[in-house]
Structure 1
Amino acid sequence: MTDAQPQPLKAALWMCGAIVSFVLMAIAGRAVQVELSSFELMFWRSLVGFGIVTALIRWRTGTLATVRTAHWGLHLTRNVFHFLGQNMWFFGLTMIPLAQLVALEFTMPIWVLIMAPLFLGEALTGKKIAIALLGFLGVLIVAQPGVQVLNAGHAAGVLAAIGFAVNLIFTRRIMLHDTVLCVLFWMTASQGMMGLALSLVEGFTWPSAALLPWLGVVAVTGLTAHFSLTTALGLAPAMMVAPMEFARLPIIALVGVALYAEPLDPMVFLGAAVIFAANVWNLRRGKARNQLPARVDAR
């Protein structure tokens, strides 16, 4: 965010676009996995995204020179963890209610806080530990171990948040050297190859004609969600944008009720509120120290 005057109304409109994109991606992701594995889904999503990003680069610059990078290690690490996080997120879509998955995903900034000492050499202070403990209390309220049966979907939701957190840490480091289009080019190229390789190990399945529109929705919304969220963060501080992102939870919960007859569990909302409080505390801490606070999402 620059020193320009914040534009919260424009940021809110862009966040509406991000929320719509994430919701459509969740619906399409469930539809696709009726036939395809999450690895195959990632391959087709990346393939379509690669075509779109490449065409955009050629249209804007007339050359692919912008994709050159001297930081292969950073890109590789970022994309391995992003691939992990995105696969776990798509897998979790099929295992637990949408609201639970999104609530667990919202722990991503807490994981950034915890892992920053490992990857960035930051000190792990008592305040950071307290923020992390508050966030994990929210996770326990959402998952309700001992009250309801935990399954692989809950673990997938947490692993998705961890993958997105490491992805965000390395994205920040890469953006010191490379452009957004460079990051997106190598993301779609490398994750497409990872998805294809793992799909071939499992046994590759060609999608039916009826599935092609859903695959297109997953690919396009993945890019529009990222673009909308990034634009919103350029128009207003993270302290304004973060609460807008949390509006995704009640919306996705209502989608789960309407399309999949999922129950509205008040404990999920209570746990999400605790996670939200931990994230706001983290954002205020970062603002007080003149640090860039963790973004709400890193996909």
Structure 2
Amino acid sequence: MSQANQQRPALAALWMTGAIVAFTLMAIAGRAVSFELDTFEIMTYRSAVGVVVVAILATVFGKWGEVKRDKLPMHMGRNIFHFAGQNLWFYAITVIPLAQVFALEFTSPLWVMLLAALFLGERLTRLKLFVAVVGFIGILLVVRPWVAPPSAGMIIAAAAALCFASTAIFTKRLTQSQTITCIMFYLTIMQLVFGLVCSLADGDMALPTGGNVAWIVLIGFAGLVAHFCLTSALSVAPASVVMPLDFVRLPVIALIGVMLYAEPLDAMVLLGAALIFGANYLNIAGAARLERRNSVTS
């Protein structure tokens, strides 16, 4: 990690403010259109907006030469998981409180840690096992199966986090040889095709209306902006700085849920999410210490 990265936390905070706003707007817009469109239709129109934006940016900045075809099967695998995860996420935000969805979404890095050990051969240390246990306790506090069986919405939100973790594993492999432009191009194109196939499967696809077209455009832009801001934040500061800023999403979305949807402000959900965050932070801090140790000895 460069010295420059470690000295730009203010810029990282600015990028993360943009990411938090974008993620929040995407959740609000997703709820707004869910009364007229199903998740497949939302994903279709979101991807269509994404295709237009990526095409314009690739043309303006001369990036078309970066779009390669040598990793198409890996792009396909990544986008199948991302499409599934995003559909599950859009459904979850309509059936359970937004704070619960975001809290369970924070489990994604824990799944990445476990999946990396299984599929990338990364070592599962005692610290990582401890992190997994702490994170699991946090999940239990969010879901509270001793009070009532987990609802379908909770299970779906957890499944979305697992799909996002699988997406991250594919992304980690792809970024070794593919640019962001290439990854984003196949993301939008493939998910547009997936969305069209799923939306048309029953022969009845709802079209955008004057009442929801603005929400659809907002979803498309917010999704791209959120991930761009998050990636930019990680490029100017270490994950140990960015991640606490990302956690601000939870109290923000909890307050949005209270103000816009009269959702209860559940202290146990916030406590469970704090444990999940703490587990993720311990894992990142441990990795940072190991990296510094290796850089000193090399």
Query: Under a length normalisation based on structure 2, what TM-score does the superposition of the two structures give?
Result: 0.94
Q: How many residues align?
A: 290
Amino acid corresponding to residue 241 of structure 2 in structure 1: M
Amino acid at match of 1:200: L
SS of match in other structure, 1:94: helix
Pairs within 5 Å for 1:205-284: 205-284=206-285
What SS class does the counterpart of residue 169 from structure 2 fall into? Answer: helix
Residue of structure 1 equivalent to 2:192: 192
Written as runs of structure 1 = structure 2, the 5 A alignment for 1:7-22 is: 7-22=8-23
Q: Which amino acid aligns with 1:74?
A: M
Amino acid at match of 1:156: I
Are 1:100 and 2:100 an aligned pair?
A: yes
- Residues 1:37 and 2:38 aligned together: yes
In structure 1, what is the equivalent of residue 296 of structure 2? Answer: none
Deviations 1:56-81 (A, max 9, x none): 101110x6222123111211111111
The Cα of 1:207 is off from its aligned counterpart by 2.3
1:6–1:237 CA contact under 8 A, matched in 2? no
Partner of residue 59, structure 2: 58
Is 1:44–1:192's contact at 8 Å kept on the other side of the alignment? yes
Paired position in structure 2 for 1:297: none
Shift of 1:136: 1.1
Give the conservation status (yes or no) of the 8 Å contact 2:88–2:156: yes
Per the alignment, residue 289 of structure 1 pairs with 290
**Matched letter for residue 266 of structure 1:** A
**Aligned counterparts, 1:76-91, within 5 A:** 76-91=76-91
Distance in 2 (CA, whole Å) between partners of 1:131 and 1:78 is: 26
Q: CA separation in 1, counterparts of 2:100 and 2:281?
A: 20
Whole-Å Cα distance in 1 between the matches of residues 255 and 80 of structure 2?
32
Deviation at 1:206, TM superposition (A): 1.2
Q: Does 2:25 match 1:24?
A: yes
Question: Where do residues 122-137 of structure 1 align in structure 2 (5 Å cutoff)?
Answer: 122-137=122-137
- Measured after TM superposition, the shift of residue 265 of structure 1 is 0.6
Q: Give the Cα separation in 2 of the matches to 1:185 and 1:154.
A: 31
Aligned partners of 1:9, 1:132: CA distance in 2, in Å? 31
Q: Which residue of 2 aligns with 1:112?
A: 112
| Match in the other structure for 1:295 | none
Measure the CA separation in 2 of the matches of 1:23 and 1:201.
Answer: 30
Cα shift at 1:127: 2.8
Answer yes or no: is the 8 Å Cα contact 2:127–2:283 preserved in 1: no
> 1:180 Cα deviation (Å)?
0.3
State the SS of the aligned residue for 1:36.
Answer: coil
Distance in 2, Cα, partners of 1:43 & 1:152: 24
Structure 2 CA distance, aligned partners of 1:132 and 1:82? 23
TM-score by length of 1: 0.94
Question: Deviations for 1:195-236, whole angstroms, at most 9, x for unmatched residues?
Answer: 110111133111222100000000000011011111111111
Provide the aligned C-alpha RMSD in A. Answer: 1.4
Cα distance in 2 for residues equivalent to 1:172 and 1:149: 35
Q: CA contact under 8 A between 1:74 and 1:174: conserved in structure 2?
A: yes
How far apart in 2 are the matches of 1:97 and 1:244?
A: 22
Structure 2 match to 1:49? 50
Deviation of 1:150 (Å):
2.6
Kept after mapping to 1: 8 A contact 2:23/2:222: yes
Please give the secondary structure, in 1, of the residue aligned with 2:212: helix
Q: Which runs of 5+ in 2 are unaligned?
A: 293-298
| Counterparts of 2:205 and 2:133, CA distance in 1 | 42
Q: Which residue does 1:142 correspond to in 2?
A: 142
Aligned to 1:166: 166
Tell me which amino acid in the other structure corresponds to 1:210.
Answer: G
Provide runs of 4+ in structure 1 moved above 6 Å. none
